[in-house]
Structure formats: structure tokens, C-alpha cells
Amino acid sequence: MFVKKSAIANIKVLRNILLTGVLLVLFVSVLGINPGFAQDGTEKVEVEQVWKQFMFFSKGAENPKWMQDRKSICVTDEQKDMYVIDIENTQNAKKILEGKALNYQGSDIGLSEFVFSKDESKLLLFSEMKSIYRHSASFVAYVYDLKEKKMTQVANGKRIKSPALSPDGQSVSYVLDNNLYVQTISEGRTQPLTSDGKWNFIINGHADWVYEEEFTLTNGYEWSPDSKYIAYYRFDESKVPEYTLVEYPDSAYPNLYNYKYPKAGDANSVVDIYVYDIQKRLGQKVDLGTEKDQYIPRIYWTKSGNQLAVIRMNRLQNQADVLLADARTGQAKLLFTEKSDTYISEINDQTLTFLNDGKQFIWQSERDGYNHLYLYDLSGKVIRPLTQGKWEVTEFYGVNDIKQLAYFQSAAQSPLERQIYAVPISGGETIALAAQAGWNDAEFGVGCSYFVNTHSSASLPPTATLNRETGEQVILLKDNADMLERMSRFQLAPKEFFSFKTSEGVELNGYWLKPAKIKKKAKLPVLMFVYGGPGSQLVANKYDGAYYFWFQHFVDRGYMVVCVDNRGTGGRGAAFKKSTYADMGKQEAQDQIEAAKWLATQANVDPARIGIWGWSFGGYLSSLCLLLGNDVFKTAVAVAPVTNWRFYDTIYTERYLKKPQDNPLGYDMNSPISYADRLKGNYLIIHGMSDDNVHPQNSMRMIEELVDKNQTFDVMVYPDQNHGLSAGNARIHVFNKITGYILGNL
């Protein structure tokens, strides 16, 4: 719903290490260093250091731009010169582009990102990036021919979406004004594939708002491997209701921004998939069945250029069908069906992966109660499970077709940790590649021959290493020594983990931060931090970055900071995650209230001074907890809260609550608005007035209900700010506001 990983990769990679021409195998280990937790530091953390100076934002290593030979990477230097470097022999560094060539008709190109054509003879250059929603952006794009040393402007310099090179490197495709185009690079000839695109009516080749937000889908088309076809999405959003955001420029009248946003129970876009034959200039509609009120979360080309795989989900999202469609005729057949008593967990790019042999694919499923990998053949038959056990596969990275290994991240050692493993496609025991305690996250290169592993723990900022596919370390890319030194200056409370059982016998995991010295009879106020949404996880043995240091500001002032993952969160299997189905909010709030009651029984806790805060789903839960737990919580801060799930989007909300027409009590009984009359404590609502995700309507309706019940509360709004409240000076302002409110009211 709210927090998702950016799809845009960084481009400056290994520059300071590899461009020296010497590959230093560094065995510097920071795993034994305890940065400041011995209480050697004396400084205290200030809010401005965290949210204005950004002192504690630890940068990981920038991911390499991998080349097709599987052992080389492309890097840039300060002059924007590009080099291809052999990982195993860095003396072999070849300059492929001089930075001064990044120029079109006398003007320098400000590079945001670049990608190679498959044959690595051309570069697609993304310039002047401008964000649209959470994942989408528009660009001015260029193609540079490395052999001809020629720069071509895409779409005559117009701002476009989703530019992509064809696999054969002869064409570049893009979306402009909701239509899909293909431009030949050598001749500059542009071919429109669609012509009916229109704002707020028809979208071709790009996703609508709700697909982008909830399916993490922006690029709504895919080239076939042989460059003969483009499969693309067509969204008819004409019947989707519009939502209006009000913007306040420095003028006499505000601006109105209208866009299509389907709220729970409302009409979605009607989605069709077309396959366009580039040579014949003909589009063929794929047969997706007669049902129109459904979702198509992903399409994938098989290794055969004539066959397209389509995932079709019913609106309730408890059934996913995998279809195989003939690109030439549009005819589709059902390959297999996945069903759930509750819902199919989120579909993503790694849900379905076709192997290079053209005969098998890997599918992720929670069918045995935990997310695992399954090997299928193209008849839709399961060959074997690749992973098994009462633990989760949390990321699937891909397959090394030479070694015949599949690579994944899992919570096998502990729900609080992540390690990296490989498993033979033919079956067999898993192989640990990055098994150190804490949190490991990998980015694999072409063919999964190398990977960058980023590791952190509760006490250590991220370090990054370049590893072979065997897990063997090649080089330490980022040790974060500068962050460790900075941390050593401060007196930092360690993150201590605990667990407890609720009155229903459910074991919950949590962590707390406590002052270094607590007087024997002292009673400390407690600030609880919550998110708690489906599949999320905050309690983890990983580096929390800015939030961890901001919490130190409260610890320094005698507060205890606590975080508990309630039922519905991730890492513990489908039963724990899906236990909140059709009643979202009820168990989550109960668990947070019980956590507060349990804390009230602990030594040195002041039971009369327990507060809670959160953002988005966390704002929803902090509101609900203050109202339903009005005898437990003294103060709550809710940033960008959902206050009634009727106001949120179809895909996310109905996945967990069904449609409001079919489950009205599930919506209304767990809505903070329904309990405005129960407010007793201090309540601060914060919202950005241009929040395209959780609309300000949520807070306005909550305010209206509180006023109707003659309640006393506090409000802070930020004009022209979106869900993240990060533009301009908003970020430091909002955290100063929250800090002051908590210190003054808890």
C-alpha cells in the first residue's frame, strides 16, 4: 500500500574503488564493532540533525550497471566518462563514452538514468526526470549510438513516459499523451501504435493510478524477445470516479487537480491487453474472457516470441489464473489457477519467472501456509517445490541458467532476519550465500553471476559487498565507516528485542529503546511507534536509519520508545498475516492496546503516560488505538491517516476487506470515525492537502465528526504536500511538530 521500493537504479557505481584499476579484496569486517552502544558518546541527538541535516541517512553502495557478458560492469567517473570494467580483472577497463558526448545540439544532457540495448551498441538516456506519482515519472529521452557516435532525440524532445529500447536495439518505444509510439532510431520515423488515448479516459501503454500504487506497475507494455511484437495495457477509466485535489499557488484562486481514483466498491478501469505486430502495423486484442470487472496485475513474454503469459485475478483477489496467449491470434488458454480462502498476496515482477530452457517456469505461492517457490512445466503441472518449510521466501532474485540455481531471500533463520540462499532447480538442499545474522538484501547482475549484498543489523548501518554467485566476497564496496564514526559521538540506546503473549495467547514481537540509566523507582513515559499494515514489518534486526536516531531524542529526555508488530504483519506465514481478513483493523488495534497494557505492568513504566504515533496505516491504527483504548493511551499522533476504508482505493482495500457492499460492518466497525465520541486524550491529526494516496478527505471527515461530538483535538495541515510531506521545508517542520506535541502532551 504505502511503502514500496523505488524502481530507478543508481548509475554511479564503484567509481572510487574500481576506476583505480586495482581490485582490492578487503577483509575489513565491521560486524564486531558496536557503534556507540557502549555509551562512550556524549552528544545527544537533535531533531534538526536527523530531518534537516540528514546526518543519519546511511547510503548503501550504488548498484552496478551489469553487462551481458555477466562479468563486467559499466561505471561513470566525475566527468561522466563511461567505462566497462571486468570484475575479475580491473586492469581491463575500457572507456566507451566520453562525458562531453552527452550533448544534443550544443546543450548538455542532464543524465537521470541510462540503459543499454541488449547488444550494448546503444544507450537510452533518461534526462530531466519529473516525478508524477509514487513510481511514475516523465523524461526527456535520447538514444546514443556507441558505434556511430550519434545522438538521437526521442519524440522531438517532448516529455514522455516509459521509454524503452527494443531488444534488437533498432527502435525506441514510449508513451506520450496516453498513446504508445515506436520510433526507429536510424531513420527517426515515428509509428503510433494507438490513437485513442485521452487524459482521464483512455490510457495506452501505461498504468492508471491504482495499478501503479497497488500492483507497482507503471510501464504498461512489454517488447517480445524477438522485437516483432509489443504487448500493451489499455485502461478504459472513463467510468472511474474522479477525485479533486486543491492546490494553493501564489495567486488569487486555487488550482484543481482532477484524476481517476477508484475508492472501495466503485468502478475500476476496464483493462484489456493488446499485442501489436510491428511489421504488419496491426493490434490484436487478447482474449481475457467475458468478465470485465477483474485485474491483470502482470504480463510476461515467454521465451517463445509468439507466446504471452497473462495473470488474471478476480476482483476479490482470491483467485489468480495464468493464461498463455498466442500473440498472432490473441487466443488464450488457461495454464493453471491459484486459489485462496482469503486473498492472493501481491503479484509482482518475480511472481512468475520463465526459465531459459523454454519449458519450465517458477511460481511463488503461499499454498502451504508460507510463501515458497514452485517449479512448473508449460502444461501447468507442478514438477516440484523448490523451497519448503515453516518460513517465508521474502524475495526471489532470479536464476543462473548455467549453474541451474535459483536465488532468493528468506526468513528461514528468524522472522526478524533475512538471509540470501540458492537452491538447485533440479531439487536439493538450499545453499547459504549471505547468512550473517541481521538483514541481508541482494541485487543480482545479469544471469545471477554476481550480486551486491547489503547487510545491516539493529546495531550496524548497512555495509555492501560484491559477491560471486557462490557467495564468495570479491570486494567490500561500502563499509559506512563514516557513519560508524558519527554514531560513536552519540549516546545511543540499543534496540532490544522482546516478545510477549496477548490474552488470546498470540505471541507478538517487539523492540524497545530505553535510557542508559534508569533510577530504581523511576516511572518513564512510553511512546509506541506503529505501522501494522498487512504484510509489513517494523520489528526486525536491521538498521532503521533516521527513525532510530529520532527516537533517541526522546530516549535522551527520559522516554521509552517501543514498537510491536501486531497480527496481520509479515514474516510469520500466511495464517498470521491473513488472520485479519475481512475485519482489518480490529485485531491490529487489539494487539497494540494489549501491548500497551502489558507495558504498563513492566518496571519503570508510567501506565498513565503511554502514547502512540504512526503514518498512513500507522496513522489509522494510532487513531483507532487512542479511541478504543482511551483508558490506556494518553496521546496519539496520526499522520496521513485512513479514517474510513471506504475512502481508500479498490485494489488494496478490497483485497483485505472485500467490497463495502458485501462487508459493511468490516468497514464501519473498524473506522476511527465511528468512535469519535470516545476521545479522551490528546490527539494530533496531520495531513498533506495534496496527498494523492490517502486523501485529505480522511482527516477532514474525522475532524468533522470530532467537532460534531464537541471534542478537543489538534490539527496540522500542509498545503500542496503529498503523502510523504517531503517537499521544501515540510519534513523538518512536521517532525518538529510531532516532537513538540509528544514532549508537551505525554
Residue 716 sits in the same domain as residue 618:
yes
> What does the pLDDT read at residue 122?
96
Residue 204 sits in the same domain as residue 162:
no
pLDDT digits 0-9 by tens, 105-132? 999 998 889 999 999 999 999 999 999 9
Q: How far is residue 625's CA from residue 293's CA, in Å, rounded to a whole number? A: 35
Question: 544, 691, 692, 695: which is the annotated catalytic residue?
Answer: 691
Q: How far is residue 144's CA from residue 416's CA, in Å, rounded to a whole number? A: 46
Residue 98 lies in a domain: yes
Q: Nearest to residue 549, comparing CAs of 481, 493, 506, 509? A: 493
Residue 81 lies in a domain: yes
DSSP assignment of 630-696 equals TTT-SEEEEES--S-GGGSBHHHHHHHH--TTT-HHHHHTT-GGGGGGG--SEEEEEEETT-SSS-T
Query: At 342, which CATH number?
Result: 2.140.10.30
Q: How many CB atoms are closer than 10 A to CB 256?
A: 9
Residue 465 lies in a domain: no
Q: What is the dihedral of CA 730, 736, 738, 743, to 10 degrees?
A: 180
Active site residue 591: no
Q: Which residues contact 106 (CB under 8 A, 6 or more apart)?
A: none
Q: Which three cell numbers stand for residue 527?
A: 511512546
Query: At 671, which CATH number?
Result: 3.40.50.1820
Residue 163 sits in the same domain as residue 238:
no
pTM for the complete prediction? Answer: 0.93
pLDDT digits 0-9 by tens, 654-697? 999 999 999 999 999 999 999 999 999 999 999 999 999 999 99
DSSP assignment of 362-404 equals EEEE-TTSS-EEEEEETTS-EEEES--SSS-EEEEEEEETTTT
> What does the pLDDT read at residue 48?
96
Residue 684 sits in the same domain as residue 734:
yes
Domain hosting 197: range is 193-349
Residue 23 lies in a domain: yes
pLDDT digits 0-9 by tens, 437-495? 999 999 999 999 999 999 999 999 999 999 999 999 999 999 889 999 999 999 999 99
Residue 654 sits in the same domain as residue 513:
yes
Active site residue 426: no
Q: How far is residue 580's CA from residue 561's CA, in Å, rounded to a whole number? A: 26
Residue 131 sits in the same domain as residue 209:
no
> What does the pLDDT read at residue 64?
78
Q: How far is residue 201's CA from residue 269's CA, in Å, rounded to a whole number? A: 9
> What does the pLDDT read at residue 60?
65
The segments of the chain whose pLDDT lies below 50 read 1-39
Q: What single DSSP character describes residue 158?
A: -
Residue 160 sits in the same domain as residue 212:
no
The values of phi and psi at residue 159, to 5°, are -75, 125
Q: Looking at 288, 316, 349, which one is the last position of a domain?
A: 349
Residue 308 sits in the same domain as residue 341:
yes
Q: Nearest to residue 531, comparing CAs of 496, 495, 568, 574? A: 568
Residue 578 lies in a domain: yes
Residue 2 sits in the same domain as residue 131:
yes
Question: 456, 616, 622, 671: which is the annotated catalytic residue?
Answer: 616
List Cα–Cα distances, 707 to 105, 703, 712, 713, in angstroms: 61, 6, 8, 9
Q: Which three cell numbers stand for residue 153?
A: 532525440
Q: How far is residue 252's CA from residue 620's CA, in Å, rounded to a whole number? A: 35
Q: How far is residue 93's CA from residue 82's CA, in Å, rounded to a whole number? A: 10
Q: Which three cell numbers stand for residue 281?
A: 502495423
Residue 364 lies in a domain: no
Structurally, the chain folds into a number of domains equal to 3
Residue 574 lies in a domain: yes
Q: Which residues contact 391 (CB under 8 A, 6 or more apart)?
A: 370, 410, 411, 412, 415, 573
> What does the pLDDT read at residue 23?
34
Residue 143 lies in a domain: yes
Active site residue 616: yes
Q: Looking at 349, 364, 397, which one is the last position of a domain?
A: 349
Residue 559 sits in the same domain as residue 656:
yes
Residue 152 sits in the same domain as residue 203:
no
- Contact between residue 166 and residue 186 where contact means Cβ atoms under 8 Å apart: no
Q: What single DSSP character describes residue 213?
A: H
CA atoms within 13 Å, Cβ hemisphere of 371: 25
Residue 590 sits in the same domain as residue 629:
yes
Q: Looking at 306, 332, 349, which one is the last position of a domain?
A: 349
